[in-house]
Each structure stands twice: as structure tokens, then as C-alpha cells.
Amino acid sequence: MEHLPLFISIEQRPCLVVGGGAVAARKARLLLSRGARLTVVAPELCSELEQQLPEFEWQQAPFAEAHLDGQFLVVTATDSAEVNAQVYQLANRRGILVNKADDSKRSAVIFPSVVERFPLQVALSTGGKAPWLARLLRARIDALLPSHWGALAEVAGRLRQRVKNTLGSSDERRRFWARAQDDNTLNAFLKHGNLAAAERWLQQEVQQPSKGEVILVGAGPGDPDLLTVKALNELQKAEVVLYDQLVSDEILALIRPEAERISVGKKAGNHSVPQDQINQLLVDHALTGKRVVRLKGGDPFMFGRGAEELQTLVEAGIRYQVVPGITAAAGATAYAGIPLTHRDHAQSAVFITGHCKKDGEEPDWASLASGRQTLVIYMGLMRSAHIQQRLLEHGLSAATPVALIERGTTAQQKVVRGQLNALSELATRVESPALMVIGSVASLADSLAWFNTGADNLEAPLERAG
């Protein structure tokens, strides 16, 4: 790293801008906004700088070394490479902080891109190598950062010592602020600028005993970029995370490093942790006052037993939230180029699971075998032969297109396609987790596939029916 990230106060410090053009005006505006005692040296000023007079002192002259006397920070932004180099060399020799606009190699300090919610500031820099990338990241962070977080930081600063005195451990304080940041009442006060009410609310809450909470989070189908913003926020605040086998390593890497991680991964026919034990783990950790994230692949309410886990929390009197995720039926099919509906192919989509309770009733195969719909089957690999047989018996054409999507949306995505009469054979060519898609829309992957296309996306030789 060529530069050390620092935040430096320049309030009432003497600063100098050399140059009178548009770049100099931009730097002057920034320095003035931070309270600098600014001098601008230039024979002429652009209209923007003229409009800022008399906020700064204007030395109407060419640059001379004497202009550096007593300066804390110097910015050189002239059209002359010779003058810019002279300013840099003289300021550097005197030990004055110097910035040469658009030239990081000749700058002791550089100005980062900044996202601001006063007093909250987020600074981004690429060391002058790719300013466009810093601007892109700034725009993304600006869109994600709630507008009232500056007010939250202001109120938190007022109460920081009181919270520290009341809550002895850093874990208790972090838990308190995480709970406060989520509270609808507090956020309403902050959004309306009622800082006094927000402060009173926090003073009352800090006296309350710490309450545990469970957040049921959908991790999506695998691609970490498909996480919702709220899901990512919860991973960064969690103290304990119970996660399933389907959650990718890339998503696990986003969990707060200090959080305790507990794998409760399950596969069909091989439950490493029984469901009742998972339920009890959620209760036990929440009762200690911790913020617990239950991280499940896809969407927690789509064949994921999320509701069963919440029922346990309700019985135990534990607070909870639910953060939906993109389910595999939507994510994996989109990445395979298979629309769930299409007016020329399917007017509806039906989601079912191929993995039922041992005493579970059979689905309505006659209804599932009806035409002009898309059938999406979760966890169906082990029962592929049974699914194939029952659909054929109830009249679905043997030539119906099918697709099996293994590890959809990830770099390991593999798509195998063929016809219904070859479904059981196709299932031997993929591994769990895999999604089964049956219907005319599967044929559209020929023209619509866009992600990870290549040797791993295979179409089986079609065994024609009849």
C-alpha cells in the first residue's frame, strides 16, 4: 500500500489551492466544506470560484514559493505540468502535505471518494489507479446506506459513555446497538429528525435486559451476489450462525468473523443433526441473549422447515424475524436460461418436493401431468424413476423436455437436458443439490442459456417416443 488511510481535521487550518480552473474549484469547495482557512493562488478564477468569494482569500498572482509559508495542506491543480511539479517539489521539501490533482505519484495525500451521512463517512480509494472504480463503489454504497444512519451515529455518540457504563462487555454493547438499529420506533424518530425522542428511547432501552433473537435468513440458491441487502446485514451482525449444507462457502465467508458457526447440514437420507436438536439449539442460544441467524439455502419457507423452527420459537417466547431469499426454482432456472412461464409454453408453474415424509401421501399426479405448465421438483433425484413412471402413467408425453440443474447459479453449475422418458438415466449424471424442471419451457435453454455455458451444460441424446 502506497498510502495510509487517515481522517485528518483541517478545521481552521491554513490550506492552499494553486490554480483557478474547474479542478481547483472542486478541491476548494471540498476544503471549505471541512472548515479550512483557504487561500487560492491564481492569476484568474473560473466562474465557480468567483461565486465562492469571499469564503477564501484570493492571491491574484502566479505561484511563488512564499505562498507556501505557514500552510498545512497544499493542492496544486493548474494547467501547467511545470508549475504543478514545482509546487510538489517545494511543498515536499518543506514537509507540507501536498496533493497534485489526478497524479497520485506526485501526491503525499490523495482525496478518496466519500459517501457521507454526517457524521458518518465512508471513504474509498484505489490509490489513484482506477478512480472510476472508486466512483462506482461509492454509488453502490450510497444506494445501500440508509439516509438516517448519520442521525443514528449522532445519537450514539451522545450516549456512548452511558451505554459503556451500563453494559460492561463489548458483546453486550454490540448486541444492544444491533437491536436498536433494527427497531422500528427508533428508526421512525431518526427518519423524522427527532433526535431528542431517539435519545430518550435509547436511554430507556439500555436499562432493559438483553433479549435474544433469531433471524431466519434465506441464503438464496448459491451465488453470493443474489443475497438480499438485509440478509448480508444480518450476517454481519450475527453472534451465532446455524447453517445448512446447501449454503455456499462464498456466502459463509460473509459472516462476521467473530460469530460462532454451527453446521447443521442435512441431506436426504442423511441428517447429520436431527430437526428437534436444531430447534433446541436455536432456543438455547437465543435464551442467552444472543443474536442468532438461522441460515438456510434458497428461501427459508420453501421446503426448508423454516416454519417448523419458528413454531418452536413461538412456544419458547423468543423473538424472531424472517429474511426471504431467492428460491432455487427462480434462481437456478433463470441462470439456466429456462423461464418458469411463457405464453407459448406454460401458463403456470408448480413447485413440489420429491422428498416427503415416509408416511406422506402421494401428490396428485393427474394434476401434475396436465399440459401447459412447468413442474419444478426439489430434492427429486432419489425418486427420479418413480417420478418418471407416475407422470407417464398419468398421460404426460414421453417427449416432454426436462432439465436437471446441479448447483445452480454457482461456478459449478451443470445443466443436463433430455426428455421425460429418460429422466431416471439423466438423474445419474448429476449430483445433489439439483433441481428438476419438467415442461416445454426446458427446451428454451437452447436459445436463452447465458450463464456458464460450455461442456458442463449437456443435452442428452433424445430418445424419441412412439
Of 380, 454, 456, give the one whose Cα is nearest residue 420: 380
- Write down the pLDDT at residue 128: 79
Mean pLDDT of 103-127: 88
Write out the DSSP string of 42-86. -SS--HHHHHHTTSSEEE-S---GGGGTT-SEEEE--S-HHHHHH
- Write down the pLDDT at residue 358: 56
Convert the pLDDT of each residue in 209-237 to its tens digit.
Answer: 778 999 999 999 999 999 999 999 999 99
- Write down the pLDDT at residue 131: 85
* Cα distance between residue 119 and residue 107, in whole Å: 27
CA quadruple 205, 206, 207, 208: dihedral positive or negative? positive
Convert the pLDDT of each residue in 318-367 to its tens digit.
Answer: 999 999 999 999 999 999 999 999 999 999 999 999 875 555 678 899 99
Residues serving a catalytic function are 244, 266
445 grid coordinates: 435453454
Of 117, 46, 40, give the one whose Cα is nearest residue 76: 40
What distances in angstroms separate CA 153 from CA 120, 150, 189, 196, 285, one per listed residue? 7, 5, 13, 14, 29
Global pTM reads 0.76
Q: What value does the mean pLDDT of the chain take?
A: 91
Mean pLDDT of 300-307: 92
- Write down the pLDDT at residue 69: 97
Asked whether the predicted pLDDT for residue 461 surpasses 70, the reply is: no
> Which phi and psi angles does 146 have, rounded to 5°?
-55, 140
CA quadruple 39, 42, 46, 51: dihedral positive or negative? positive
Convert the pLDDT of each residue in 163-213 to its tens digit.
Answer: 999 998 888 898 899 888 888 899 999 999 999 999 999 999 998 877 899
13 — pLDDT class (breaks 50, 70, 90): very high
